[in-house]
């Protein structure tokens, strides 16, 4: 997949998540968070007021530290597509 196509699919997946009104499972949200931050090259520290949430987010970011931005976009897209394909 070329970069422009990947970017377009990524943007569609992000929009799909943002428009969804039901709550997502916490583990799913952490994976989305990590892939999104890596895909967008955003290295700001987690900003939750709860230290435990920041710890979980930091751990999720650590788990994706060795993948490229394009890999993170692909993983994010696959995660979103699979969630909506298999949700109840």
Q: What is the mean pLDDT of the chain?
A: 92
d(CA 47, CA 24): 19
Residue 79 is predicted with a pLDDT of: 97
Kindly report the pTM of this predicted structure.
0.90
Residue 87 is predicted with a pLDDT of: 76
Q: What is the CATH classification number for the domain harbouring 49?
A: 1.20.80.10
Residue 48, SS3 per DSSP: coil
d(CA 63, CA 50): 21
Structure tokens at 57: 């987010």
**Torsion, CA 42, CA 81, CA 14, CA 54, rounded to 10:** -50
Structure tokens at 46: 């987690």
* pLDDT tens per residue across span 5-19: 999 999 999 999 999
Our count of domains for the chain comes to 1
Domain range for 81 is: 3-86
Packed helices 26-39 and 3-19: angle between N→C axes, nearest 10 degrees? 140
């Amino acid at each position: 997949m070329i970069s422009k196509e990947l970017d377009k699919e990524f943007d569609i997946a992000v929009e799909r998540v943002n428009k969804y009104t039901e709550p997502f499972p916490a583990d799913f949200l952490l994976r989305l968070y990590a892939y999104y931050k890596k895909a967008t090259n955003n290295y700001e520290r987690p900003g939750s007021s709860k230290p435990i949430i920041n710890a979980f987010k930091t751990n999720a970011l650590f788990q994706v530290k060795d993948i490229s931005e394009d890999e993170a976009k692909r993983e994010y897209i696959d995660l979103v597509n699979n969630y909506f394909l298999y949700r109840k």
